[in-house]
Amino acid sequence: MTIQQQPRAASDQAMWEAVLGLHAFVERQLAQTLQRRHGVGLSEYRALEVLTQAEKGERRMQELADHIGLGQSSVTRLVGRLDSAGYAYKDNCADDRRGVFAVITEEGRKRYQDARATYADVLSSALNTAGADDQFARAVQALRSAA
C-alpha cells in the first residue's frame, strides 16, 4: 500500500462509520415509533411492504429473506409472528412441494397502509435531525443528493 492510499483508506473508514452510525440512529427511530404507534417491529413492517408490493401479495420465503436482509430461519420466525397477528400466513407452493410462500392478508395490508405514513414521516424527521449533527451531516447530504 502506498502512502497516498492510506489517507484514502482512513477517509473511507470514517465515512463508512458515519453511514453505519446514521443507519443505527434512523433504524432505532423507525423501530421505536412503529412499535409504539402500530404494534409492529421494523422487520415486520418491511416484510409487509415487500408482500404488499409483490404480485398476488406473496413471495417465496427465501425471496422475502433476501429482500429484507434476514436469514432463512429469522424470516421463518418473522412470518410466524405475522401469522400470529393475522397479517400474513405460510402457503405451500403447488408446483414445488419444497417451496413455501409468505402471503399477506387483508389485515396485513391494512396494517401496512396504516403504518406507511408514520414510516415516511419518521424517516424524514430522523434524517433531518441527523443532518443537523456534524457527525452525520455529510452522510445525510450525500444520500439525499444521490436520491
Q: 81-119: per-residue pLDDT in tens?
A: 999 999 999 998 777 667 799 999 999 999 999 999 999
DSSP string, 82-125: HHHHTSEEEEE-SS-TT-EEEEE-HHHHHHHHHHHHHHHHHHHH
- What's the pLDDT tens digit per position in 31-77? 999 999 999 999 999 999 999 999 999 999 999 999 999 999 999 99
Residues listed for the chain: 147
* pTM, rounded to two decimals: 0.87
Please, which pLDDT band fits residue 3 given cuts at 50, 70 and 90? low
DSSP secondary-structure letter at 7?
H
Distance CA 133, CA 141 (A): 11
Distance CA 90, CA 99 (A): 10
Distance CA 23, CA 127 (A): 10
Distance CA 42, CA 134 (A): 27
Q: Looking at the predicted structure, is the pLDDT value of residue 128 above 90?
A: yes
Distance CA 118, CA 42 (A): 12
What distances in angstroms separate CA 71 from CA 50, 59, 145, one per listed residue? 16, 15, 31
Q: What is the pLDDT of residue 4?
A: 55
Q: Which CATH number describes the domain made up of 21-146?
A: 1.10.10.10
Domain boundaries, the chain: 21-146
Torsion over CA: 31, 35, 38, 43 (sign): positive
